[in-house]
Amino acid sequence: MSSVESHQEQLSQSDPSPSPNSCSSFELLDMDAGSLYEPVSPHWFYCKIIDSKETWIPFNSEDSQQLEEAYGSGKDCNGRVVPTDGGRYDVHLGERMRYAVYWDELASEVRRCTWFYKGDKDNKYVPYSESFSQVLEETYMLAVTLDEWKKKLESPNREIIILHNPKLMVHYQPVAGSDEWGSTPTEQGRPRTVKRGVENISVDIHCGEPLQIDHLVFVVHGIGPACDLRFRSIVQCVNDFRSVSLNLLQTHFKKAQENQQIGRVEFLPVNWHSPLHSTGVDVDLQRITLPSINRLRHFTNDTILDVFFYNSPTYCQTIVDTVASEMNRIYKLFLQRNPNFKGGVSIAGHSLGSLILFDILTNQKDSLGDIDSEKDAPNTAMDQGDTLTLEEDLEKLQLSEFFSIFEKEKVDKEALVLCTDKDLQEMGIPLGPRKKILNYFRTRKNSAGINRPTLKPASGMNISNITKELEFCNKTDATGNGDYPDVGIGQVSVKYPRLIYKPEIFFAFGSPIGMFLTVRGLKRIDPNYKFPTCKGFFNIYHPFDPVAYRIEPMVVPGVEFEPMLIPHHKGRKRMHLELREGLTRMSMDLKNNLLGSLRMAWKSFTRAPYPALQASETTEETEAELESSSEKLSDVHTEETNVAVKEEVPPINVGMLNGGQRIDYVLQEKPIESFNEYLFALQSHLCYWESEDTVLLVLKEIYQTQGIFLDQPLQ
């Protein structure tokens, strides 16, 4: 017989002959001493493996209350499912298990907790099982009502708990090998503290998340399975990003929350690393990996090689298919679970993930019609935004005299795209016009974007403006014809899936997009270019991030200007940056004042006094000197004014990639980071998940499209 059953049997024997309609002994004792005993308030916890250790984490107060209401409703709990954590997890009440909704994750155990004991190493409190907690509560009630303490209980794993008084309750572990005959363990060793009720233990319990979801953001990770220096997954890092956003909404959008104008922004992770490495490529790599420096080679295979996989035709297709299909799948599931959602969707990518999203966005189509039919549709010059007739195209090329030849041969624009140099030669078109026509229509077909053949421009965009900035090699094909082959600019050709929604904003964190575009052969992005289905694009980076590159110099290559400095979330510049700027201004002022004083002194020193000068002449000379000194002082003021003007940079036209707004945004480094840039380089690439400045910029741009602004503009 277990200790729990024996204890219940002892309690039942306290009233040997209860009547059928009478109350139990506990109820009678509770009624007699109602002012002494108060039932414990339960709180729900779930178990999670953190650093190879089981850690019990409390549900937020709203979720715990929902679970308790479902538990106490009296209905069968076996089929009861309660959504928690903003709908990202479901708790199967009968199984006492918690399952992730949008991504793959090991299920975690759930408990209704009332009694806790302190752990060994981390000093965190661990809840007892529900059955033994009930035994402890019944024993505690008897001790309170009868005022009889020093109650000793034995747990199912033969651990001893002694209730000395309401404020002193201890837990003893059994002593191993105490007796070969299996004698009862004694209370030896270091005792652990026992607490009753979650209010008596030190644990942070959050209030919960707003039910209203205003916007949905998909977050795509970069290379490798780990996303920060603590080797956490994309799910854990996005959880931090979401927590920071909830805190910033309470501090920077307080008025909008009080007026119930906003709820929250939901951030959902998108994982493509696991599907890629489940294709069997790891096994193939392991066969050819050298046995030396095993850990470093394993890190290389699991992390750095993702960059090479993306440049492989086979695995690049796998990556883009995984990312797009995951975002489409999660979006459909999200709408099913949130049927009243009316907000927009944005996407964010870190490191290589931002490049994947950039390539997907540049290969979308403006129309969200039938995806399957569009995949099979021919890629002709009559695609999106091309409404000109063949005659108008030839007139644009100043080759209208050859329209009659095409009309006679019944060659339209679609047929002209398929023509070769030899075909045009047989029609009687000279070499010069022939090359101009082929280049014009081939580049329309192959280079209607900025980085590969399948890239399409936004509606109404002049494609030739982009292709003027690209350098294509005039190569001959296998037949010897001087045609421009169907090539991009250095990137593999893949079929890009369609997204079933139009993202509003694309956020890139620590992005190498600029470097990859340059390596592919792109020298300039046309200022009129914009994503076909996405209006906004923000390139956010830390100044010491070794992987990040700028975008704006590719749009405006002839102008040198600084990126936009992201304001500190507390509404000021960091102290060391203000000090640096203050010292710079002070040195400029001292320099200007010193130069002005030296000029005045030199002027007065070199002036020779002549007593014979008339008073009128002296007056004229004095006035001239005053005019000269005023000119010098005005020069000094002019220099100071120029410095001030430089600080207030006028608006710069960086094209339509971000709807006319600036694209590059740089974070402010921390004071300790400014001492050694190289020491914090790796950390700078992984800092975005917990950066309040980054999260606030994302929230500001998302809510700004809805006409909701910060309580106080940041300087």
Residue 513: strand pairing partners: none
Q: What is the DSSP string of 292-309?
A: SSHHHHHHIIIIIHHHHH
> Which contiguous run of DSSP H or E holds residue 329?
helix 313-337
In terms of phi and psi (left: phi > 0; alpha: psi -120 to 50; beta: otherwise), the region of 149 is: beta
Nearest to 143 by CA among 40, 42, 26: 26
Q: Between β-strands 536-541 and 664-666, what pairing exists: parallel, antiparallel or unpaired?
A: parallel
Choose the catalytic residue: 351, 354, 684, 691: 351
Check residue 689 and report its DSSP letter.
G
Map tokens 């399957």 to a residue.
372
Nearest to 517 by CA among 536, 533, 539: 539
Q: What are the Cα distances from residue 146, in Å, to 6, 37, 194? A: 20, 10, 21
* Annotated catalytic residue 351: yes
Residues 237, 227 contacting (CB under 8 angstroms): yes
| CA–CA distance, 453 with 486 (Å, rounded to integer) | 8
Angle made by CA atoms 398, 402, 406, in degrees to the nearest 5 = 130
| CA–CA distance, 535 with 686 (Å, rounded to integer) | 27
How many other CB atoms are there within 10 angstroms of residue 629's CB atom? 15
> Which contiguous run of DSSP H or E holds residue 350?
strand 344-350
H helix and E strand count, the chain: 25, 19
How many Å separate Cα 278 from the centre of its chain? 24
Map tokens 């694009």 to a residue.
537
Question: Which residues are tagged catalytic?
Answer: 351
